[in-house]
Structure 1
Amino acid sequence: MQPCSWSLPLSDISTKRNQLRQLIRQRRQGLSAEQQQQAAIDLVRQFSTQPQLTKLQHIALYLSNDGELDTDPLIKSLWQQKKSVYLPILHPHKPGFLVFQQYRPDTPMISNKFGILEPELDPTQLKALPEIEMIGLPLVAFDKQGNRMGMGGGFYDRTLANAVFCQPAPLLVGLAHQCQQVEQVPVESWDVPLNLVVTPEQVVTPLAFSR
């Protein structure tokens, strides 16, 4: 599958982002069930070929929604390897922010206000950002420079704004279908760039690894 090409009109950045978000979401949602299933399998394969990822023990991911690249096979693969997996939860006290909680096969789940499943809050299972080695981020569009555009809520950007100053800093890895790659993502000042993007077909390494 070839990367999507998108020529942006000369308009304000918010309009550009909204137009791009609508286009790529439609392309992503248009993938067949068979294509989604194969992409999820290929994602596991891509991870297994990356030594900088396979050596990690504490990995945060997400549960897929809205046509996002399915992470379920990857999560199950990591469990089989005795890795610790974490999922984002809407922050209980800071609206617009996330916290990360360990996710196991028997973790009680609830539906948050967006209708997305997340672990039922258990403060004893929360993990601080400096203790998470990698955070796999969902996204709508990305480019080869490592710029990411999400759904527009800003939850990850707010939460990770200071992550680059953590010692050690978590590796920020975007997970996406190949058709979500564009020539250039319109960037806002608050956008947090990615260290790495993994698709079922390639690994994009725009920035030097921090580990």
Structure 2
Amino acid sequence: MLDRQSLREMARRHRQSLSPHQQQQAATQLKARFIQHPKVQAADTLALYLAMDGELSTQACIQWCWEAGKRVCLPVLHPVHAGHLLFLAYEADTPMQHNRFGIPEPRLDSRTVVPLEQLSLIFTPLVAFDSQGNRLGMGGGFYDRTLAQWHQHRQGPYPIGLAHDCQRVEQIPSEAWDVPLPEILTPGHHWIW
């Protein structure tokens, strides 16, 4: 079995090797799965993310949410509690900035912070996943900390991972702090555990 860093590098190479056409096709297929998901249809406030580094694009899903009257939130690095995320309301005209990792996020404004308990769903990016729902992120643990309450007590927003089909690996060596996901959507599958 490959170690976590080797798996991370391999999966990132796989998703970065997808052509623009393959990326667009994957985003279109994801949107079809996304809008048919019963939890998405029932949700009023969802957290998504803006894709980078070859991640599966969420832009069509975000646009659909806006058109359906759903509130969309994006993660923002917490300015005080290192290693934690805040979620801010996101609209087409939201002022954006790049965080220290170069990821676009809404400019911090306390008026647009959405408390975690108001989120119905959190769609998480990931680098790799396995058939047990284990996810491998970029290594910062931001989503693991955010989802700890859900993992321990099934309280808080319901998490769903988003990934390209090529990001599935045989097995991810898990750590005590890892939060397995109950569902992962890919362009080709809907994985539920």
Q: TM-score range by the shorter chain?
A: over 0.9
Structure 2: gaps of 5 or more residues:
none
Q: 2:100 maps to which residue?
A: 113
Q: 1:72 maps to which residue?
A: 59
Q: Is the 2:151–2:179 Cα contact (8 Å) retained in structure 1?
A: no
Equivalences for residues 188-199 of structure 1 within 5 A: 188-199=175-186
What's the CA shift string for 1:23-52, capped at 9, x where partnerless?
Answer: 111011000000000111111100122222
Percent identity, aligned pairs only? 49
Measure the CA separation in 2 of the matches of 1:48 and 1:90: 28
Q: State the secondary structure of the residue aligned to 2:73.
A: strand
Q: Please state how far the C-alpha of 1:162 moved relative to its aligned partner.
A: 2.1
Q: 1:83 maps to which residue?
A: 70
Corresponding residue to 2:130 among 135, 138, 143: 143
Q: 2:36 maps to which residue?
A: 49
Equivalences for residues 17-32 of structure 1 within 5 A: 17-32=4-19
TM-score of the pair, normalised by structure 1 = 0.88
Q: Is the 1:129–1:166 Cα contact (8 Å) retained in structure 2?
A: no
What's the CA shift string for 1:158-195, capped at 9, x where partnerless?
Answer: 22222345775211000000011112111111001112
The alignment yields a C-alpha RMSD, in angstroms, of 1.3
Measure the CA separation in 2 of the matches of 1:122 and 1:166: 30
Q: Is the 2:149–2:155 Cα contact (8 Å) retained in structure 1?
A: no
Measure the CA separation in 2 of the matches of 1:163 and 1:124: 25
Greater Rg by CA: 1
In structure 2, what residue type is equivalent to 1:18? Q
1:185 matched to 2:159? The reply is no
Structure 1: gaps of 5 or more residues:
1-7, 10-15, 207-211
Aligned length, in residue pairs: 193
Measure the CA separation in 1 of the matches of 2:151 and 2:95: 31
